């Protein structure tokens, strides 16, 4: 494949060298003549393990060259990959002037081409940038229609400085968000020989994936450091702790707990987060990440309540109010808090949970219901149908699969608010709304 790569900085230089090594013909494009001249001499414009040798070999066998003539580069290639910088501004927003400028140049160039061209954005950009800036600028400058006359996609990179070449050839995943299937397939073909899953998705999802990855990595660093700060204060080796922690690939280093939904509750998580924060405070430690966990959890409860009250309906049904499906444990259940708040606002409620039955539960849970939340016990119904018949809005509070059909039957006459994503089949139904989707 003949590929032009715009921007010969860190990502662009690595992508250019590695794609050339894979057998593609690469033209690097950069407005800085110093970078262009270095590449044409077979010298890497960046310091990165192994890339110098790769670029030297690619230039030597005529699979890599560089220019500052963007029009010529587009004319002589089938795909343009944009790797220009998107630096942060003082308010946290991105400076997209380089993206705009390159899109204008590429758009003007493809307007003169007879063959279909593909534009691949590899620069890191916030969700919505493709739709709000990249596509409009390309279409305006070319006079053509994206997805029809030319292809557009975003292909986020997952390269770490100092290991970028290794990361290029060993990606955790390859993600392509494209304007059309033809474009997605063509770009994915560039990485056909690389390991890892190949994922085709829409433009905004691909944009969001990159930020989700990087913010998660930042959060992991901050979390580990705060655990380390507590561990040191109490005389524990933090590396021993985290080495043991990381051996749990079932819950700790896994996809578990990583699906957006409602707030956490139960007898362990809220209590233990509070206790560790108390211990940190007693040690005079300031731990912003750990202290924000319960605040974030509380905000999700507020979000759920607002979602319900914004419907302007007074008759509310709640299906599932134990803190998770398959248990009768109501301790610190976020759904119980929602019920209590709605009652306080004068809403007419009926609730159902198969596992919470006064006739069968015993011990602490029964005592909790009768003594702590007796007003809620009076709202309990013996069947799902009884709650449905009462309600204008149905709230699905936990993941009991018996509630799937309720969500799938959502309509404008009986709204469903889903706090757990109980059914993928319900998502596009009129009258259905999820808390995070």
The three-class DSSP label of residue 153 is strand
- For residue 328, give the 3-state DSSP assignment: coil
Cα first-last separation, the chain: 38
Give SS3 for 87. coil
Q: How far is CA 35 from each of CA 20, 67, 83, 127, 329, rounded to the nearest angstrom?
A: 17, 9, 14, 30, 64
At residue 282's C-alpha, the angle toward residues 280 and 287, to 5°, is 25
Are 58 and 43 in contact by the 8 Å Cβ rule? The answer is no
268 is catalytic: yes
The torsion angles phi and psi of 46, rounded to 5 degrees, stand at -130, 160
Count the residues in the chain: 437
Treating both helix axes as pointing N-terminal to C-terminal, what angle do 288-309 and 269-282 enclose, rounded to 10 degrees? 140
**CA angle at 423 for the pair 325 and 339, rounded to the nearest 5°:** 50
Which one of 18, 246, 268, 381 is the catalytic residue?
A: 268
Selection from 98, 106, 124 nearest residue 11 by Cα: 124
What tokens were used for 342? 């709605």
Question: Using CA atoms, how far apart are residues 404 and 418, in angstroms rounded to an integer?
Answer: 10
Residue 418 neighbours by CB under 8 Å, 6+ apart: 396, 407, 426, 432, 433, 434, 435
Q: What 3-state class would DSSP assign to 233?
A: helix
Q: What are phi and psi of 216, to 5 degrees?
A: -65, -40
* DSSP per-residue string spanning 337-352: HHHHHHHHTT-EEEEE
- Looking at residue 94, the DSSP 8-state letter turns out to be B
Please name the residue that has the structure tokens 């998107």: 86
Please give the positions annotated as active site. Answer: 268
């Amino acid at each position: 494949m003949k590929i032009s790569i715009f921007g010969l900085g860190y990502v662009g230089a690595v992508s250019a060298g590695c794609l050339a090594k894979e057998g593609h013909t690469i033209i690097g494009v950069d407005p800085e003549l110093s970078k262009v001249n270095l590449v044409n001499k077979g010298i890497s414009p960046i310091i990165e393990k192994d890339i110098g040798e790769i670029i030297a070999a690619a230039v030597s066998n005529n699979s890599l060259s560089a220019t500052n003539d963007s029009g010529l580069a587009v004319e002589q290639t089938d795909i343009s990959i944009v790797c220009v910088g998107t630096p942060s501004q003082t308010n946290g927003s991105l400076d997209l002037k380089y993206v705009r400028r390159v899109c204008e140049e590429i758009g003007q160039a493809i307007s003169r081409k007879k063959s279909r061209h593909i534009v691949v954005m590899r620069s890191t950009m916030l969700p919505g940038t493709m739709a709000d800036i990249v596509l409009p600028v390309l279409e305006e400058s070319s006079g053509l229609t994206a997805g029809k006359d030319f292809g557009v996609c975003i292909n986020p990179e997952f390269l770490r400085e100092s290991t970028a070449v290794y990361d290029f050839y060993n990606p955790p995943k390859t993600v392509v968000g494209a304007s059309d299937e033809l474009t997605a397939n063509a770009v994915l073909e560039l990485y056909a020989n690389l390991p890892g899953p190949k994922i085709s998705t829409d433009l905004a999802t691909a944009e969001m994936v990159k930020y989700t990855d990087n913010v998660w990595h930042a959060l992991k660093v901050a979390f580990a450091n705060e655990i380390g700060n507590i561990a040191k204060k109490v005389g524990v080796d933090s590396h021993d702790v985290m080495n043991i922690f990381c051996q749990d690939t079932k819950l700790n280093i896994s996809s578990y707990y990583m699906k957006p939904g409602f707030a956490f509750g139960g007898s362990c998580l809220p209590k233990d987060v509070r206790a560790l924060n108390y211990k940190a405070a007693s040690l005079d430690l300031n731990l912003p990440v750990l202290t924000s966990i319960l605040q974030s959890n509380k905000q999700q409860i507020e979000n759920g309540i607002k979602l319900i009250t914004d419907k302007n309906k007074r008759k509310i049904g709640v299906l599932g109010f134990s803190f998770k499906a398959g248990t009768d444990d109501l301790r610190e259940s976020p759904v119980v808090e929602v019920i209590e708040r709605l009652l306080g606002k004068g809403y007419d409620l009926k609730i159902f949970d198969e596992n919470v039955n006064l006739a069968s539960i015993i011990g602490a849970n029964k005592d909790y219901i009768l003594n702590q939340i007796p007003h809620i016990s009076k709202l309990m119904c013996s069947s799902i149908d009884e709650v449905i018949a009462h309600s204008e809005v149905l709230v699905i509070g936990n993941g009991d699969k018996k509630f799937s059909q309720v969500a799938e039957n959502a309509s404008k006459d009986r709204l469903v608010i889903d706090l757990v994503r109980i059914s993928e089949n319900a998502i596009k139904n009129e009258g259905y709304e999820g808390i995070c989707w």
